[in-house]
Chain A
Amino acid sequence: MTFIKTLGALVLGAGLALPALADQDPAIEQRQGQFKLFVHNFGLLGGMAQGRMDYDAEMAQTAADNLFHVTRHDQSRLWPEGTDSMSVDGTRANPAIWENLDDFVSKFAALQDAAENLQGVAGSGPDEMRAGVGALGQACQACHQVYRDEAS
């Protein structure tokens, strides 16, 4: 009897705890942290591209170098199954990512290419940088358009 009760409590407890545990999968916050680093650097380049601040070749190059490196961070442990917005709270990652992983991976590769291109032009002058910023923005948008939910 006690054994059965304990087992019942365990099963019940596990059932209750599972969604909460899934909520707390650290991969979600970690990948969000990576996107914040993208924005940290992209914002500087975008600000210069839009004339919100003066173009500075050295600062632009540093930000573009950073973007090159952070977009090369290995993604293999950042997107575990079950961390989509249907399964857990706290993420805007649409389940379509996992249904179209090949496409998602190729769109991420396009982002890496755009970051590499930007790294090559960011220090060469405002117009060169602006073109690179636009192309990188397109790579971001291609993914956001189909794989990111609206903010809540």
Chain B
Amino acid sequence: MLRKTLITVALTGLALGGVLWWLSAPDPLDARSLDALQGDAEQGRAVYLAAGCASCHKGPERDADPLVLSGGRSFASDFGTFIAPNISPDPENGIGTWTQAAFINAVMRGVSPEGKHYYPAFPYTSYIRADPQDMADLYAYMMTLPSDANPSRPHDLGFPFNIRRGVGLWKALFLTEDWVTTDDLTEQEARGRYLSEALAHCAECHTPRNALGALDTDRWLLGAPNPSGRGRIPAIAGDEFDWTAFDISAYLETGFTPDFDVVGGTMADVVNSLQHLDKSELDAIAAFLLHVR
């Protein structure tokens, strides 16, 4: 009887372990179709600016060049400290040897070329909604950027968050390519949704997170504690956000709030990047944010 129970427990454990193992497996996109895409570096520059890669991946110095993605910036969180890796085209310490498919799977699925999970501090949770063609353009552009040999440093995470395989379970629970905003949109609003929900990943800072670090979509864009410092990331939707489309677009272009305070903190990096996009792109973000509100 005891033996039977033990066997049942063991088998159940094995089955459960198997299910967890299966659930936590990386789920990359098909490499052949990704490699078939023809990237355009010039188009990729706009994607690079919209996606804000430099904000996290440029060097840690205060006046670091936003085109040298040497990594090394650290981001404190409830789970430990993440350190942005080198994603310059350096073949040794960067991503110089990556194929286009490996790059797109990293950005859109959070899966490394070795088939390991990346932590969702890397906002593939937003980039999953991107157009693979844009990612191919981005790849072409990023391969033209300067190389830097600075070696990537490991994250500093506590147990159990240091078990990468566990990220697979997190992905099974929270990673989705569905839009958060599913109403009918005008063409301009839809473009704004693409920029906001996919590339510029606004929600990653402007939306609060649950205990497991996933975005709380019930409080979408309503502001959140600053993940890496004092103060709060402000609401960009809801009743307390009362900017006009003109205000939003002008802010993203110049860094001036409607009261003529000047942008600071991590948002200054965002403005420094987005301000180089066509004004129509900033207007689209504004139109979308006003729709959400």
Interface residues of A (CB under 8 A from B): 39, 42-43, 46-47, 50, 85, 92, 103, 134, 137, 140-141, 143-146, 148-152
Report whether B231 and A92 are in contact in the complex, using a CB–CB cutoff of 8 Å.
yes
A42 and B255 CA atoms in complex are apart in Å by 13
Give the residue name and chain of the B residue nearest to A152 (CB): B231
Give the residue name and chain of the A residue nearest to B258 (CB): A52
Q: A39-B259, A92-B231 are in contact. Are A137 and B254 (CB under 8 A)?
A: yes
Contact of B265 among A85, A140, A148, A152 (CB under 8 A): A148
B150 interface residue per 8 A CB criterion: no
Q: What is the CB-to-nearest-CB distance from A126 to chain B, in angstroms, rounded to a whole number?
A: 15
Range for the number of chain B residues in contact with chain A: 20 to 34
B264 interface residue per 8 A CB criterion: yes
What residues on B are CB-neighbors of A137 within 8 Å? 254-256, 262
B277 interface residue per 8 A CB criterion: no
Q: What is the CB-to-nearest-CB distance from A112 to chain B, in angstroms, rounded to a whole number?
A: 16
Q: What is the CB-to-nearest-CB distance from A142 to chain B, in angstroms, rounded to a whole number?
A: 9
Report whether B264 and A141 are in contact in the complex, using a CB–CB cutoff of 8 Å.
yes
Number of A-B contacts (CB under 8 A): 62
Q: What is the CB-to-nearest-CB distance from B147 to chain A, in angstroms, rounded to a whole number?
A: 26
Interface residue ranges of B254-279 to A (CB < 8 Å): 254-256, 259-265, 268-269, 271
In terms of DSSP, what is the predominant structure of the interface of chain B? loop
Report whether B265 and A150 are in contact in the complex, using a CB–CB cutoff of 8 Å.
yes
16 contacts between A and B (CB under 8 A): A43-B259, A43-B260, A46-B256, A85-B230, A103-B62, A134-B254, A137-B262, A144-B263, A144-B264, A144-B265, A149-B226, A150-B226, A150-B231, A150-B232, A150-B234, A152-B231
B160 interface residue per 8 A CB criterion: no
What residues on A are CB-neighbors of B271 within 8 Å? 141
A82 and B62 CA atoms in complex are apart in Å by 23
B233 interface residue per 8 A CB criterion: yes
Report whether A42 and B260 are in contact in the complex, using a CB–CB cutoff of 8 Å.
yes
Report whether B230 and A150 are in contact in the complex, using a CB–CB cutoff of 8 Å.
yes
Contact of A140 among B62, B231, B262 (CB under 8 A): B262
Q: What is the CB-to-nearest-CB distance from B124 to chain A, in angstroms, rounded to a whole number?
A: 25
B41 interface residue per 8 A CB criterion: no
Report whether A152 and B268 are in contact in the complex, using a CB–CB cutoff of 8 Å.
no
A sample of 10 more A-B contacts (CB under 8 A), given A46-B254, A134-B254, is: A43-B260, A50-B256, A92-B231, A137-B255, A141-B262, A144-B265, A145-B264, A145-B269, A149-B265, A151-B232
A151 and B267 CA atoms in complex are apart in Å by 12
Q: Which of B62, B260, B261 has the most CB of A within 10 A?
A: B260
Give the residue name and chain of the B residue nearest to A134 (CB): B254
What residues on A are CB-neighbors of B234 within 8 Å? 150-151
Give the residue name and chain of the B residue nearest to A130 (CB): B254
What residues on A are CB-neighbors of B231 within 8 Å? 92, 149-152
